[in-house]
Structure formats: structure tokens, C-alpha cells
Amino acid sequence: MLKPFTSALLLQSGYNAALVAVGAALLGFAAGSGGAFMFLRKRALVSDAVAHATLPGVGIAFMVMVTLGADGRNLLGLLLGSALSAGIGLLAVEWITRRTRLAEDAAIGAVLSVFFGFGIVLLTIIQTMSRGKQAGLEGFLLGSTAGMVFEDALIIAVGGACTIAALVLLRRPMTLVAFDPEFAAASGVSVRTVDLAMMGLVLAVTVIGLKIVGLILIVAMLIIPSVTARFWTDRTERLLGIAGLVGGASGYAGAAISASAPDLPTGPIIVLVCFGLFIASLLLAPNRGVLASILRHRRFQVRVHRRQGLLALARGEPILDPLTLAVLRRAGLIRNDGVATEAGRAQSAKVLRDERRWEIVRQIHQNEAVSGRYDGLTPIEAVLTRDEIAEIDRRIGRPVPAEGAA
């Protein structure tokens, strides 16, 4: 398993496998960064409608080419047809959302199912045509890389490059529209045009991806990389880059894995590799990842328990909560039998005094931001200057030994 995989990864397991791997990587990059804006605009599923709407175009293009006497399987012709019908589907979604009371999700679902159903009708017609038997148009449903030739890879490469170029050129207006459409409109950017351009990019990626991933799974390549990238950054430019890398890496690795063994269809493998990257990011990403937020929660919990424990020590109340005891013990503030150490007594006295100081602060600055920062955890030194604290201390009076302290 490993040997064929590494040789496929290094582009050494045959011409076709290398072609597919490079094509899939390019496609993944274009799809990842192309889908990013749809994700930021919160319209990720529009690409689902676009992808399904390609099917009738493929069928019609095949029939037209056969009628004209050409080879019905010409990839460029099929892609042109699919782009045309996907464009019509896209405009239909836009038109339904704008002109009727139906919400966008209903429009997406309607276009998706109707175009796909019509495409299936066309496919069954083609199957009964004399030259349609060997058309292999079903390959467009789930992608088929078996018969890929150099021209196909070239089409994918050129299409991917054009998509990325358009993305780089249009990134400013698209960022603007994605984050604040009202402001964009007010500053003279035509939101509708930019939206259509965004979807045009998605359309281009979809059409290019038909051959490798197929129209049902290309949606995954448009959505998953940008969702994955979102875990790692808060900046649009980086999001585009990371999404592209995630898409490219999963395309390349997926193609290599699928070349390493029989019965591993390329499209699904690419999608699953991408999903694996997504799950890893969901769990491990700094800041937005699940692990990071568990750690953050844990740290917060420790702070709360430490402070409540110190307050209880200072007031001479018994501590019963096992977590509080463990936290204090680990910090060396109490001994194993629950009696406060020297450090524990000092810190609890300080905490109690801070609590008293906060009380005064909240009386003085009743309606000000300072009082709002009282959450029982923020140290008072983080909010007030030393002089202000000294002034408060003057009101409280000198420190007195807390009850329970020796």
C-alpha cells in the first residue's frame, strides 16, 4: 500500500496518474480559493445549485455535437455546454430570490433538483441514441479520471490559472461585498455585479472540476477548503491562500492515494482527504479549534476556582469542592490536609483586600466603564493606577489580619 502510494505521490507511477495528480492539485487550488468568497458571503450552497445545473448542458452539448457529426465526447465542447446551463441555473437562482418571496435556500433547492432531473432525462435519451451507448457521460456525475489525456489536463490547468488570476484581480471589491454589502453599495460598487462575478468564478471551477471530481462532489471542493482555512486565520488574503493550499493538497494527495490501489475512485478520495484536513483543523487549530477552546475553558475554570478558594481561605470558610482543593494544592497555596501555607495566607489576604477595593470602586464609579470590568477575576491593578488604589486604601483603612489567619 505504501510503496505505490509514495511512487504516485512522486509522480512516478505512470503518465496518466501523474497527469491526474497535477490536474487535481491545480483544480483543488482553484476550487479552494474560488469558493472562499461564497463562504464569506454566507452563500456556500449556491455552488451546489451551480454544480447540479451543469448536467443538462453536458447532455445537450453531446447531442448537438453528435448531430453536427463531431465526436460527442470532446471535453471542451461538453464543458462549454455545462458552463452555459450552469449559468442559466445561476441566473434562475438569482431571479427567483430577487423577484419572488421565496428564500434563497428554496431557490437553490429548486434549481438544483429540476436541472439535475432534466439532465437525467437527457442522459436517458442519449443512452437510446445509436452513438450514445459509449458516451460515458455518467462519468461526469462522480468524475472519472481513467481516460484522462494531456489535452484534458491542459484545459484544467489553463482554466484553473484563469480562475486564480480573476480572483486576484477582483479580490478587493469581492472582500468589500462579502463583509459589508451596504457599505459597498454606498461607495459605488455594484453589489449585484460583484455577486455575479463571484458566482461566475464558482461556475468556472465547477465546470473545470467535472472531469476529475464530478458534479455531485465538486461542491465539497468549493466549501470544505475555505471552511478549513477559516479556522487558521482572520484575514481574507490569508484565507484565500490557505483555502487554495488545502484544496491543492487534498487534490494531489487524493489523486495519489486513488492511483495507489484499485477500486479507489478519485473524486470521493479527494473529498475525504479534504474532510480529514477539515476535522484536523476543527480539533487542533489555535484559537478557533475545539482543543484550544477546551484549554481556554479549563484555564478560566482554574482561575475561578483559585480565586474562590482563596476568598474562602481568607474568610475562614471550609472548602469542599474537590477541584478547588486540587487547584490550590497544586499551586502550593494549601497543604495536603487543607490548611493554608504561608503563600496561601498572603495571597488570600490580598484577594480579600482586592474584593473590598472593588466594592469601593463600584461605589465611586457607578456608571463608568471601570465598574463594568468587575467580573471577580480581573486584578484591580489591571484597571486602576497605583495612586487610585492608594486613595481607595485610604478610605478602607490599614490592612487588618483576616479572620482565621494566625
Please give the residue ranges that form the binding site for other proteins (CB under 8 A): 39, 42-45, 47-48, 95-96, 98-103, 105-106, 108-110, 112-121, 123-125, 128, 138, 141-142, 185, 190-192, 216-217, 219-220, 223-224, 226-227, 230-231, 263-265, 267-269, 271-272, 275, 278, 282, 288, 290
Q: How far is the CB of 389 from other proteins (least distance, A)?
A: 38
Angle between helices 236-260 and 266-284 (to 10 degrees): 130
In angstroms, the CA 20 to CA 298 distance is 46
Given the complex with other proteins, which of 105 and 151 has the nearer CB atom? 105
CA–CA distances in Å: residue 197 to residues 33, 37, 202: 14, 11, 9
Minimum CB separation of residue 316 from other proteins in Å reads: 42
Nearest distance from residue 222's CB to other proteins, in Å? 8
Q: Measured from the CB atom, is 271 or 312 closer to other proteins?
A: 271
95/300 with CB nearer other proteins: 95
With respect to other proteins, which residue has the nearer C-beta, 121 or 323?
A: 121
Q: Residue 230: phi, psi to the nearest 5?
A: -60, -25
Q: Which of 80, 110, 79 is nearest to 94 (CA)?
A: 110
> Between 100 and 378, whose beta carbon lies closer to other proteins?
100
Please report, as a single letter, which amino acid is at residue 138. E
Tell me the closest approach of the beta carbon of residue 106 to other proteins, in angstroms. 5
CB of 219 to other proteins, least distance (A): 5
Q: Which residue number, 19 or 108, has a Cβ lying nearer to other proteins?
A: 108
Q: Which residues pair with 340 in a beta bridge?
A: 334
User: Of 400, 394, 397, 352, which Cα lies nearest the Cα of 376?
Assistant: 352
How far apart are alpha carbons 320 and 44 in whole angstroms?
51
What is d(CA 208, CA 27) in angstroms, rounded to the nearest whole number? 7
CB of 136 to other proteins, least distance (A): 13
Contact 75, 151 (CB under 8 A): yes
